[in-house]
Each structure stands twice: as C-alpha cells, then as structure tokens.
Structure 1
C-alpha cells in the first residue's frame, strides 16, 4: 500500500494512494468500515499499524466501492511533515560517492570502515512540488542528494540483522539538500544539511510488504531533465539490516524514526566544475517502486 499526507479543499488529511487508478482514498472512510478510531496524522497511523491492520485495510478497499479523489486534484505534502525526531542520516554509503566527495569533513578514510552517522532537522519536511529555498544570503553551493528513506515501524534496541525487516514500516524518498560551503565552514554536517525547506520527502510511503527484501531498487536524480545520479540500492556499503542493527546497539530506535541511507555518485559537488543548483532548476528524485519526488529551486 501507498500512504500519503495531502491537502484537499484546504484541509490536510492522510490517505491511501491507489496506483492503478491514480486516486486517493481518505483513511477516515476506510477506518469507518473497520469500526476503528481513525488516526489524525501519519505518525499516529504508523504507531498503530501492524501486519493485521494493513491486511484489513486492503480487504476493506477491495470489498467496497470507495469514491477516490484524483491525485491531480490534491496537493501532496511530505508523508511525515513533522518527524518526531531528527532524521538519521548516513554519509558516504556508496563507494562511488565516497570517492567523489574526498576532502569533505566526516571521516579520514575515502571508503568508510564504519557507518558515518549524523542528523538533519526537518521541521517541516516539504512535499512533492514544493519550493526548495535558496538561502542566497548564506550559501551559493546548494546541492541535491537522492536517498532511500527507511521509516521505522516499532520501537527496538539491540536489533539483530536478521530481524531488521520486522522493525520497518515502509520506505519513501528524501532529497538530502545540502549547503556545501556551510558543511565545510563548520567542519561537520548538521548545520549544512538542516536549512529550512532542505528536506523534500515523498511522494508516498510505500509499505514494506510491497518492496522485496533485501531492498534492491533503481535510484536516480535529474536536474532539468539531465540524469545526474543513477545507481541501485544494492550498492550500499552498509545495507539496511546492518544499519538498523548497528544503530540500535545501545540506542533505541523509535516508531516513526526516519533513516536515510546515503546517496550515490553524481551530486553537484562531484563535478568539475561544480554543478550546484541554480535558481529555477527542477530537481527530480526517483526510486523504483516508490515514485518521483520533484521540486523547484527558488528563483
């Protein structure tokens, strides 16, 4: 199933996206048929979700003739507009990207021997079609990074690698927009990754039942139609089971946590000369099985 947060008739709601008909069904209607109290936000929905609930929802949708809203009639928001905690990020988690960013702070080895973790504020995250602010008063080196995001579905600590999938709710796309001069200036990545609007997310969260595990998905970004990044998540240096297990050692992962798993080669910093975003640029981030997240850079 594909889950979305959206605006329709000036009201925000959460719903299920029907890929075949390109319609959205409000979760309120589905929950009424199940005689259950409806969640008010995506975070609340993820908290109450389990395999049985997802199956019940699929059955209700199949057995009832819901009147869906055409996707073209709604404004898609970030699926989780206000994450409960900072987004957990991995740096240099594709070999080709690790090589192209040599010289950035965050590790002494070109190819990390251990995961490089940092965090990113998204308050709020922006959605498909929203504007990425340029913050031209402090940076002229804004970069794009397409990343697979893992949404945690239940609390866990000291999770075994072979049990990692049990703790996943689903997957979405995040563009880890980065101000490169600020990264270098401060000698760490938090500030340069956390400027307002620099976390596009979406267009949907895809439930894990729709994505085969291990996760091997084509991942790509384009700027003004030009392919910049093109890889597959099977090329992660540290894969999803490793990341979840390693992060959870002595540190509780909580339901609703979002982990972004790194970006492949082809970011603006990797070109000579650099190809940072310019006013009016259109950035498209695509991941197989999830969709495309498209945003414009502020003019």
Structure 2
C-alpha cells in the first residue's frame, strides 16, 4: 500500500494513478496535526488496513497529477541518519565503524517543495539519495533477528548537506539539520510491497541528468543491524525514519533553479526544487569524476558568488 497526504493534508491511498481520500476512515485517531494522524495510523495499522485496502480498491479517486502532494511523514519524532554506510561499490577495504546523526524533525519537506541554500559559508551544498526505513512500533534494544518486525515501510529520502562549516567538531548538526534539508516522499510504502530492501536500486537525477545510481546491496551495515544499533541508543517510535546512507560517488553541488529527483525502486519518484538567493555556482561535476582525476577536495569547488575563494 502507498499512503500519502495531499492538498490540505487529506490522507490518501494510491490506486494506480488515482488517489482515494480515506480521511473519513481514520477520524477516530486522536490528532492535533497530520503528524499525529500518520503516526497513530502506523502504530495501529492492523486495525485500519482492511478498511483502507477496501476503500482504495472500490472508492473513486482523483488523478495524482491534479493534487498537491505533501510530505507523508510531516514531523517524525526521530530522524536518524546512518553515516558512511556504503562500501562505495566495494572500493573500501572494510566498513567504517557504525555511526549516525539526527536531523531536525521540522526540516522535512515534501514533493514539489523547495530546499533553500542558506546564506552561510558552506564550501558546497549536496543532497544524498537514500532509502528511508520507517518504524512501525515502539522499538528499544531489539536484536538483529527481530529488527525487521519493527519496520512499517520505506520512503525516498534526500539528506541535504551544507559542508565545510566550522568548527569541524560540530559539523553534523550544522551540516545536516538545516531548514528544508530533509525532503521525503511522495509516498510511504508498506514493507510488503518491497521484496528485499537490501536489493533496491537507488537513482538521483539533477535537471534530468542521472548522477547517483547505486543499489542498497552495497550497504556497509544492514538495515537490521542499523535498527539494532540505534535502538540500543534510544527508543524508536512509530513513524520514525532511519535514513540508511548513500554511495558518495555521484554527489554533486546543488545550484539555484535545479530540479532534483530521487527514486528508490517501488517508492515513486520524489521531485524537489533548489533555491539559492545568492546565485552561487560550483563546478558541475561529481565526487567520482574528481576522484578519477586525482583531484582534492572530493567535492566540487565553488566558482562564483558570496564566500567563493579569492583567486
């Protein structure tokens, strides 16, 4: 099942290219805002699943391209992102030690929304294509063997990054937790629709150019290991997101006016816009292209605009 919010955060289920409004079926879930509604639905999904499936199959819908899609998880309690969690197509000699960071829950944006590159002296702005794992029930100190029982589903996830900010010891917070730096969507896909989350093709395009293209089978630490490790740090709640990391080779600098699209196979295509009021420019290249040329630093250099290095 593909679950979504649309227009003024009506709850919908996707049926082909039609969205069926199922808001009336979940009116008994206590809520202040849509984040309470989706988290409550996830936590009690067994009580609603049959009704939602029946409505999606028999109800009349509206074309998906006639509505405004919203972030399907507007404000998760926790957003935990795995750091350096890919083997970079087998080029790393061994996995990096397991590690993670958090992103602000109100940094989430949805399909068609805009990631804003702030007026800060970042050396480059990038966005990492990632598979997001959505937790289905409260999860604390679980084992790898049981970890997948706590998964509700999956989602496209872009991890916005403002790199090169000082001080170096505090880089994760300043780099990752910024406003609008967590695009997700367009749908929340229940786990039964993904045969093997460790074999999912992941692709990211910028202005129609395919720049990231990898598979989740390259993860250094599996999804179940990530759940085990995080849940021994703190409790995970229904609707929480674990972003599972990226292959860094295709990372590239985002520019004002860019259209960025992400598709983890089976999860629809997420499209967002990039806005930089300073109109800064960087070399249009990827990290892998620079690596193959023996260039440092790994990311593209800034060419013009505020904070550009003096020539």
Which bin holds the TM-score, normalised by the shorter protein?
0.7 to 0.9
Q: Residue 107 of structure 2 contacts residue 177 of structure 2 at CA under 8 Å; is this kept in 1?
A: no
- Aligned partner of 2:81 in structure 1 is 89
Q: Check 1:122–1:249 CA distance in 2 against 1; reply closer, same or farther (3 A cut).
A: closer
- Aligned partner of 2:43 in structure 1 is 47
- Aligned partner of 1:12 in structure 2 is 9
TM-score, normalised relative to structure 1: 0.83
Q: Residue 144 of structure 1 contacts residue 178 of structure 1 at CA under 8 Å; is this kept in 2?
A: yes
Deviations for 1:247-286, whole angstroms, at most 9, x for unmatched residues? 2225322222110000113343xxxxxx411111111111
The secondary structure found in structure 1 opposite 2:227 is helix
C-alpha displacement of 1:119: 0.8
Deviations for 1:100-120, whole angstroms, at most 9, x for unmatched residues? 9xxxxxxxxx85443111111
Alpha-carbon distance in structure 2 between the residues aligned to 1:160 and 1:296: 39
Which moves more between the two structures, 120-129 or 169-178? 120-129
C-alpha displacement of 1:188: 3.0
C-alpha displacement of 1:288: 0.2
- Aligned partner of 2:98 in structure 1 is 115
Deviations for 1:169-224, whole angstroms, at most 9, x for unmatched residues? 11001110100122774543122101111111101100011111453110011111
Q: Check if 1:72 corresponds to 2:65.
A: yes
Q: Residue 143 of structure 1 contacts residue 267 of structure 1 at CA under 8 Å; is this kept in 2?
A: no
Alpha-carbon distance in structure 2 between the residues aligned to 1:97 and 1:211: 22
Structure 2 alignment gaps of length 5 or more:
32-36, 277-311
Alpha-carbon distance in structure 2 between the residues aligned to 1:78 and 1:111: 36
C-alpha displacement of 1:139: 3.1
Query: RMSD in angstroms over aligned alpha carbons?
Result: 2.3
- Aligned partner of 1:279 in structure 2 is 256
TM-score, normalised relative to structure 2: 0.80
Which of 37, 45, 64 is the matching residue for 2:28?
37
Alpha-carbon distance in structure 1 between the residues aligned to 2:159 and 2:167: 16
Q: Check 1:99–1:197 CA distance in 2 against 1; reply closer, same or farther (3 A cut).
A: farther
Alpha-carbon distance in structure 1 between the residues aligned to 2:118 and 2:233: 37
Q: Check 1:294–1:250 CA distance in 2 against 1; reply closer, same or farther (3 A cut).
A: closer
Q: Check if 1:126 corresponds to 2:118.
A: no
